Copies of this chain bind each other. A is one copy, B any other.
């Protein structure tokens, strides 16, 4: 289908159209046209949307046919995009700078006006939005921990959008509330918490889930925080590792604890928190007169994919009576793999856990679970009993009104796509997927280890799907290791990345970390990625970087 590009034609067009034209359109929609037999495909029976406006869609009288046909057109655009996404030969993106997008590209004007645009323009806008976006499901998109486009998850999200409801009460989201309970129970079981006691909530992302962990830990120890604020508390301290995600610090800033009270614990070369360093740091903080409250251990760090030694950390938390949180936003999925779950051994001793199914498990964005071992704590910490939502005289069991557990009021339905994917894959389907991601990481690791053009940031078999490396262009290969080489090496990854984005052939992340200058971080969480895509990426990095 080819839609003419219609821009700014609204004023010149007559909103009313001749009755016979409308009639023809309707007959096409109803599938009654005799033209059908002339060997044309279904797609050729298009309505001309150039004179039709959204006001003629449902709930407009007789809007059913236009609505149906319009949504089918949208779906055709989406299907075409999905196919392109999975086609390794297509580009990952067609890069334009912010000012170019703001100024408007051919037929694509992002400005808003007082006048309505015809549906044809809306369809063009949909196509252009996808055209100038990034195909995060493309087999060569390795840019973030979340990638891929699961078809079942996608269907789930389409349904969620159509249901258009809110998680605050059972009353208006009965099925989704029950699904949230089922999913939380399942995750508790897998963690090893048993199914009855634990609690939790799906939140808008891992950072908010980590914020919940500090919030609940603080409330558990000092329930007066809720009414009196931090003024009633002693100076508290939180502990994270050097390699932990920045969200715990962000939570400390938000919660009025202050970033200075988040104490960083040293890691080993592999990026794992050193338990003896944790203990040393706790004792040091105590000597300073602060009250150690909370440790966030990481199961799958963002950059290195490292797993902190959870059992050792749990021992220390028990010894000093600290809340133990495990940020398994990225690595939590490994619990579904019988081959790899041992890496999270000890997670069952945590008081709370962040686990993002939108990462390793491939659920569409967003889907993040905050799980807490003590039932009722979330509710006690956050409830304010707003009477307009949580009426005490409802006819059903009000324990299913989850809104008062949360720091939100309205809450997006993030569970259905996850539930549907679990139905469609079964637990075993997730296991197969995750094992394959690990195999891809091992393959890349071995390729890099035997290549003279690359250096690994740390030489160890991947524990998660992260593989960190430098590309060493020919110009740097003869320079001895030292500040001069480091300085030049630091510029290589950004330059290659910039060229890669300009060409749109692949996307991979880079960053400096600690003493390590800019290096690439590959991660695998995309079911579409094959070994040949890894081969391509390495060749592409060389192609783009060999003259640097």
Contact = CB atoms under 8 A, between A and B. Distances in A.
A387 B205 contact: no
Interface in A120-174: 121-122, 125-126, 128-130, 132-134, 136-137, 139, 143-144, 146, 149, 151-152, 154-155, 157-159, 161-166, 170-174
Given A133-B173, A420-B126, A387 B82 contact: no
A231 B230 contact: yes
Contact of A174 (B101, B126, B229, B256): B101
Given A99-B397, A171-B501, A302 B388 contact: yes
A498 B253 CA distance: 44
A164 B137 contact: yes
* Copies of this polypeptide in the complex: 2
A445 interface: no
A254 B407 contact: yes
Given A174-B134, A227-B259, A256-B257, A428 B116 contact: yes
A346 interface: no
Nearest to A94: B174
Interface string A20-43: 000000000001000001000110
Nearest to A224: B258
A159 B77 CA distance: 9
B257 A164 contact: no
Given A174-B133, A186-B112, A409-B206, A166 B154 contact: no
A299 interface: no
A458 interface: no
B151 A58 contact: yes
A180 B113 CA distance: 15
Given A75-B75, A513-B387, A114 B428 contact: yes
A71 B116 contact: no
B151 A54 contact: yes
A176 interface: yes
A258 B227 contact: yes
Interface string A67-105: 110111011011101110010000001011111011000
Contact of A115 (B172, B261, B428): B428
Contacts of A166: 144, 146, 365
B117 A424 contact: yes
Given A394-B498, A395-B494, A395-B501, 5 more contacts: A112-B427, A122-B155, A129-B163, A134-B172, A225-B258
10 A-B pairs with the lowest CB-CB distances in the bound complex, closest first: A256-B256, A229-B258, A230-B230, A157-B161, A59-B528, A204-B204, A230-B256, A395-B498, A54-B424, A393-B494
